[in-house]
Structure 1
Amino acid sequence: MNGWYSPGRCSKPFGNCDFGNSSIEPYIVGHNMVLSHANAVRIYRDNYQEKQGGYIGISVGARWYKPLRNTTIDLLAVERAISFNVPWFLDPIILGDYPPEMRRILGSNLPQFTLKERNKLLVTKLDFIGLNHYSTLYVKDCIFSPCEVDPIDGDARVISLAERDGVVIGKETGAPFFYDVPHAMEEVVMYYKQRYNNIATYITENGYAQASNSSMNANDFTSDTGRIDYMSGYLKFLSSAIRKGADVRGYFVWSLLDNFEWTSGYTSRFGLYHVDFKTQKRTAKLSAEWYRMFLKGSLLTREVQYGSQPQ
């Protein structure tokens, strides 16, 4: 929609590209992705699942939203922003059609499923959903309160903001738009638990970025206490969602290693292990040891891991 990613097609006011139509093309692409998913599931189920005993699902980027103000219009703006995020893809697959909010706003720009396609989606469905959750933003209504079109949330008619009354929504990280808002993990999981009848769920990505430049070395990254705080907080609230009945089957950190991060290239480091990109030497960060002990069942506190006496 905004032209930030390949193939670099977009149109104003969402982005400034030489070619493209942001009001139509993203929804054609999304429609074809949903239909491709249904075909992939059918092929796997018919030819491989019984023999392999595997499971098939789909992972989606699950940004979370909070109302900028406790008003009806901002609460409705949150619902629109959510609809143009995960439900854009999961509602057709699980419920058989796009969210009503998308239909109301987009009209004929949103493709229709044929009856045959809708039946195929509902029959194939999936075995689990994967949520890639990192961050949360405030949302402000742009229907009744005119504002600039947001290139992130596009046609939802909202603008997303990181601050309210001069206070940032959470601690900043080394990646743009990514803030440390751990309680949102529970809210995300519980929301989709209710929306999709508690389907089996994996947190397929969750992680913390450190900003990087070419003059920095491993010593600048290995004492990553910010990442430990981030992971500890998000896992705490994921645990709370599980205790409340959410069928969460697994959690995956992004990432084991520093790597090439989309349009950020090598300037954002998400890894538990530092990678020297020139020599490929890998050095464990403090978070790698923290996570190893966590997975072994240790009851860790920030003070224990950072060298203070346990309380």
Structure 2
Amino acid sequence: MINFFNDFANLCFERFGNRVKNWITFNNPWSVAVEGYETGQHAPGLKLKGTGAYRAAHHIIQEKSYIKGTCDFLGLGHFTTRYVTQKNYPSGLGDSYFADRDLAELVDPQWPDPGSEWLYSVPWGFRRLLNFVKTQYRNPMVYVTENGVSEKTQCTDLCDDWRMTYLKDYVNQMLKAIRDGVNVKGYTAWSLLDNFEWDEGFSERFGLYYVDFRNKNKPRYPKASVQFYKRIISSNGFPNQREVESWKRKAVETCSSSNQLLAADPLIGHMEMVTEIVVPTVCTLCILLSAVFLMFLLRGRL
């Protein structure tokens, strides 16, 4: 594995080294430990409840003697916020990393829900988190490595108004945190393109560009958020509310041509038919067959 990683790193340095100066070795170490060894959602897919995450984290920090004092920046990925409250879990539930925390996560039903079941838009939580890092960790240099919102739909409407609103609100809260004195040096919207989202596969789309994964050429189509985010970058913020609203209107207008191109793709029409007709039909047949099988099984036991 070490040799494979060396080959991968050398390839990255060779191809991108003249442009990329900051590198992150392990992305989402929490996910590596918890979702790789506790829940089994990610590779290597182990479900060692109550022990796996701790052992994985312990092995990760064994190298601390090599890296102590070498931290040059904090890479922070942030998408949403939760309230927490104290909660005691019954011992009969068995060992679990989540039960060990003795807390429950809560959401406000009034928080906007763009579509993904776990991602609520809570912009003020972003500012509070950045200020927490400032006060608790001596205000380190922070690069926001991931911040964005997804949709879990098969729709081909590229006028993603909810994503533009999310980006506007979250970037604005980050700017407020910078004025609070937080040492934020960079921000990256997640993500440039729709991509492979771990256990969600291609079903959860974060991209500013829509990717048609069913086409072997993987064509890209710009969503409205492309033009909107471009305006934020070129203006280095928000000039005034009226101007920002005009950005959104123009972005929605320009996305109509992308919608027409995407709708003209015959594969898209075929897949919409599969999604709307074939998938529900197959699910219904599976339920009926399961019911018939259960009836025969029960008759055999009577």
**Pair 1:180 & 2:118 matched:** no
**Pair 1:211 & 2:238 matched:** no
2:239 to 284, 299, 303: 299
Q: 1:8, 1:285 → 2: CA distance?
A: 34
- Provide the residue aligned with 2:6 in structure 1: none
Query: Secondary structure in 2 aligned to 1:28?
Result: helix
Structure 2 regions of 5+ residues with no counterpart?
1-37, 251-302
CA contact (8 A) 2:53 2:97 kept: no
**Pair 1:250 & 2:186 matched:** yes
Deviation at 1:150, TM superposition (A): 11
- Provide the residue aligned with 1:138 in structure 2: 83
- Provide the residue aligned with 1:284 in structure 2: 222
1:29 corresponds to which letter in structure 2?
A: A
Q: Which has the higher strand share?
A: 1
1:252 corresponds to which letter in structure 2?
A: T
CA contact (8 A) 2:114 2:150 kept: yes
| Backbone CA RMSD of aligned residues | 2.6
CA separation of 1:153 and 1:237: change in aligned 2, threshold 3 A: farther
1:234 corresponds to which letter in structure 2?
A: Y
Aligned residues between the structures:
207
Say which structure, 1 or 2, has more relative contact order (CA 8 Å, 6+ apart): 1
Q: Any residues of structure 2 matched to 1:42-191 within 5 Å, and which? A: 117=65, 120-122=66-68, 124-143=69-88, 153-163=98-108, 167-168=109-110, 170-191=111-132
1:210 corresponds to which letter in structure 2?
A: E
CA separation of 1:127 and 1:307: change in aligned 2, threshold 3 A: same
Structure of larger gyration radius? 2
- Provide the residue aligned with 2:56 in structure 1: 29
Residue deviations 1:132-167 (CA, integer Å, cap 9, x gap)? 000011212113999x8997844211111224xxx3
Q: 2:246, 2:101 → 1: CA distance?
A: 45
1:264 to 192, 200, 214: 200
Q: 2:180, 2:95 → 1: CA distance?
A: 35
CA separation of 1:294 and 1:156: change in aligned 2, threshold 3 A: same
State the TM-score, normalizing by the size of structure 2. Answer: 0.62
CA contact (8 A) 2:163 2:225 kept: yes
CA contact (8 A) 1:182 1:237 kept: yes
CA separation of 1:290 and 1:153: change in aligned 2, threshold 3 A: farther
Query: Secondary structure in 1 aligned to 2:202?
Result: coil
Residue deviations 1:102-140 (CA, integer Å, cap 9, x gap)? xxxxxxxxxxxxxxx4xx553x33100111000011212
- Provide the residue aligned with 1:88 in structure 2: none
State the TM-score, normalizing by the size of structure 1. Answer: 0.61
Deviation at 1:195, TM superposition (A): 1.3
